[in-house]
Structure 1
Amino acid sequence: MTELKKPVIIGIAGGSGSGKTTIAHEIADQIHDDDHITMITQDSYYRDNTGVSMADRQKINYDHPDAFDTPLLVKQIDQLVHRQAIEMPIYDFTEHNRSRKTIHVEPSDIIILEGILVLANEELRDLMDIKIYVDTDDDIRFIRRLQRDMKERGRSLDSVITQYLATVKPMYHLFIEPTKRYADIIVPEGGSNDVAIDMLTTKVRDIIAKNNA
């Protein structure tokens, strides 16, 4: 039996609204469909809050490392590394809870993992071939988060502002921004940085070539 090649694991971290998802999709688009790419978002791995009242769910600090089920994320990324399929959780942001449904994910050659704290955990970092930190100004990130949460997650203007000031901004400076020291590459201004995206894509192709040699 031919030994399976290790997939390329790309970790993309940065504050909420920094442009992590845009960069992930730009890399995927530039690699094209010749290679199978799987996108994993850390947001899917918020803890299961079943049994917690809605009032208490709304009080949870979702920008703190403890809000995530990191052991499950590490386990499932490791399974994909070893070419095993996973059942990825789905998180319902309107209910502040994990859905009963999951998404079946088959192993692939390239796995892009993006999330605010994907560089905070040593076990996760050790699984990555490339570690990226997206560095975007606070004002821009806040505006993007405001637009997203109101449009996609059914949040009110007041609730977004209150959450940002109470937890999002302080947690960013306490837990997220310090993880940039673990990054191989720091990308200023998120998805609008075409030069950085071209460099990243070239590096990914280089790793793929080495893995397939």
Structure 2
Amino acid sequence: MTKIELLDYLHNYLSDGQRHTVRIFGHGGAGKSTFAKELLEILPSDKVNLLETDPYIINGELRQLVSSKDFPNQKVTASMPVSHELNSLKRDITALQMGMDILTIDEPWTPSRILKGSKPILIIEGMSAGFLNEALFDLSIALVTDEETELNRRLERDTKVRGRHADFVLQTHLARRQQYETYYKSYEDSADIIISQINNQIITTFKN
């Protein structure tokens, strides 16, 4: 199935007049934000909320207070559950599902805004969503890609959008990938749909 066909399938799935909560998750640089925005563009703006989960990632300075038993000399990355404010994220998702409005968390690259609980479609995008119980969502989509593509995408995004130095991205890349393989990858098994982007080829797999 091509990306266009998948987006068409999702449009039909989400256009039945019912309330839906969709999570889009995966490792850094997997293409989550791009795919979420593409999905958002084909849905009526008055029917859908997009909750980005990057603001629920704990500050890197605080993450230095803990260490990984498997990689004791590495800084703890977002591939571990301890790096995320999961209770706060679950609280905000549940509030929206119950029809309540929320104010999103302000970030330098994502200004705070109000999400309206009256909108029936809720898209949750980001790494944090992967650690939540799958029962919270009626559809889960995981995105994965190869190590080289991840690095190139992170270099492009983090230097231009997040103001980080290329040297920092390169230095942290190995730790991120190792911790992804050890701690995060297994969560992808809970996805209903997996979008694999390797060597510029996109393969979509429906697990159920």
TM-score by length of 1: 0.72
SS of 1:10's equivalent? strand
* 2:191 corresponds to which of 177, 183, 193: 183
Aligned to 1:165: 174
> How many equivalent residue pairs?
178
Q: Which amino acid in the other structure matches residue 143 of structure 2?
A: V
Aligned pairs for 1:16-35 (under 5 A) are 16-31=28-43, 33=44
Aligned to 1:136: 145
Q: Which amino acid in the other structure matches residue 127 of structure 1?
A: L
Aligned to 2:27: 15
* 1:73 corresponds to which of 89, 93, 118: 89
String of CA shifts for 1:62-120, please: whole Å, max 9, x gaps: 43221211100000100000000112212347xxxxx9x84322111111111124122
In the alignment, the residues of structure 1 paired with residue 57 and residue 130 of structure 2 have an alpha-carbon distance, to the nearest angstrom, of 16
In the alignment, the residues of structure 2 paired with residue 126 and residue 69 of structure 1 have an alpha-carbon distance, to the nearest angstrom, of 18
Q: Which amino acid in the other structure matches residue 17 of structure 1?
A: G
Aligned to 1:40: 51
Structure 2: where are the runs of 5+ without partners?
1-16, 66-74
Relative contact order: is structure 1 or structure 2 higher (C-alpha 8 Å, sep ≥ 6)? 1
Preserved CA contact (<8 Å) 1:45 1:91: no
Aligned to 1:211: none
Structure 1: where are the runs of 5+ without partners?
94-98, 200-213
Aligned to 1:149: 158
String of CA shifts for 1:115-166, please: whole Å, max 9, x gaps: 12412222xx211010111121111011000111111111111111111123
State the identity as a percent: 25
In the alignment, the residues of structure 1 paired with residue 190 and residue 107 of structure 2 have an alpha-carbon distance, to the nearest angstrom, of 27
Q: Which structure's residues are more often helix, by fraction?
A: 1
In the alignment, the residues of structure 2 paired with residue 165 and residue 34 of structure 1 have an alpha-carbon distance, to the nearest angstrom, of 39
In the alignment, the residues of structure 1 paired with residue 53 and residue 106 of structure 2 have an alpha-carbon distance, to the nearest angstrom, of 10
SS of 2:107's equivalent? strand
SS of 2:24's equivalent? strand
